Amino acid sequence: MTTLSALAGLLVLGAGAVPPSIDGVYDSPLGRVRISGDGTTFKGTLVAASPACAFRAGEELLRGTLLDDSLAGKVRVCLAGEGCPEGEWASAVLLASKGRLSGAVHVAAPGCTSPAGKNGGLSFVRVAPGNPKGQAPAPAARERARELLRDGAAFLAEGNFEAARRRFQEAAQADPGVPEAYNGVGVTYRMRNDLGRALSWYKKALAVDPDFGDAYYNMACVYSMRGERDLALRYLQIAALNGYATAEGIDADPDLEPLRAEPAYRALVRAKM
């Protein structure tokens, strides 16, 4: 079932689909990276180093395959901690949205930390000189957004999905940087079984905050119900391994029923037990 916890506290492109533009130069916590590919497979090469990492220009830091509008593969992250390797290839899934790749990596080395966010969130932001950075919302706007989120969650709990959706949309307008607002809109569409719209709003939440765990799990559920098993498993893996979901919750969720027979699904559940 689509998770509501935040409200309370990758298939090949289909015929006729236009693939997102991936090629370009991006800034990231790992440094400035040039990403290029043939439309299906991509690699990222370091152009300029980051103070946080000892990687050198020319080193390959990203390998991925484009599945729909997600880049699934591996990212080489630098690690800090006693006995930690200098760099490690970590499983990653990155959503391609306007001007950025947003997603999460999973680092398997115990006791090691990476420049990724607290929950593995990582963004590659396209270098576009002259584009001004967004300003942080005023405290009053953020507080208003929080009030609207609380109202939306209350309407959602009552089953009044249309009223909840209006509140969440108002919250997103008040503070465009709050991922819970976009996720909330997605949940209201999911509850009406409008999976396409639900997915588009979950993606907006992920683009706003790659550390927002509910987006990964919710997207996995929608992809599962739509029969897009590869994408569902990619997002579910990140959700589970980075602590966004428990094995018990995954195995009891009817939205994930289409994945039950997949070996990768069973291996994931066993790994989390």
**For the chain, what are the domain ranges?**
24-126, 136-272
Residue 66: its pLDDT value, please?
A: 95
Residue 104: its pLDDT value, please?
A: 92
Q: Which fold has domain 24-126?
A: Lipocalin (2.40.128)
Residue 136 scores a pLDDT above 90 = no
Structure token pair of residue 212: 């927002």
Residue 79 scores a pLDDT above 90 = no
| pTM, 2 dp | 0.84
Q: Which of 266, 263, 206 is nearest to 70 (CA)?
A: 206
Better pLDDT: 161 or 78: 161
Domain 136-272: give its CATH code.
Answer: 1.25.40.10
Mean pLDDT, the chain, integer = 87
Average pLDDT of the residues in 123-137: 67
C-alpha–C-alpha distance, residues 92 and 3, integer Å: 22
Residue 8 scores a pLDDT above 60 = no
Average pLDDT of the residues in 184-191: 97
Residue 17: its pLDDT value, please?
A: 53
Which CA distances in Å does 84 have to 28, 88, 109, 219, 244? 21, 9, 7, 32, 24
Residue 241: its pLDDT value, please?
A: 85
Residue 138: its pLDDT value, please?
A: 75
Of the pLDDT bands very low, low, confident and very high (cuts 50, 70, 90), residue 18 is low
Q: Which of 89, 102, 116 is nearest to 207 (CA)?
A: 102
Residue 137: its pLDDT value, please?
A: 65
Of the pLDDT bands very low, low, confident and very high (cuts 50, 70, 90), residue 119 is confident
Residue 242: its pLDDT value, please?
A: 85
Residue 40 scores a pLDDT above 70 = yes
Average pLDDT of the residues in 42-62: 93
Better pLDDT: 71 or 54: 71
Of the pLDDT bands very low, low, confident and very high (cuts 50, 70, 90), residue 86 is confident
Of the pLDDT bands very low, low, confident and very high (cuts 50, 70, 90), residue 9 is very low
- 6-15, 23-32, 153-162, 234-243: segment of lowest average pLDDT: 6-15
Three-state secondary structure of the chain: CCCCHHHHCCCCCCCCCCCCCCCEEEEECCEEEEEEECCCEEEEEEEEECCCCCCCCCCEEEEEEEECCEEEEEEEEECECCCCCCEEEEEEEEEEECCEEEEEEECCCCCCECCCCCCCEEEEEECCCCCCCCCCCCHHHHHHHHHHHHHHHHHHHHCCHHHHHHHHHHHHHHCCCCHHHHHHHHHHHHHCCCHHHHHHHHHHHHHHCCCCHHHHHHHHHHHHHCCCHHHHHHHHHHHHHCCCCCHHHHHHCHHHHHHCCCHHHHHHHHHHC
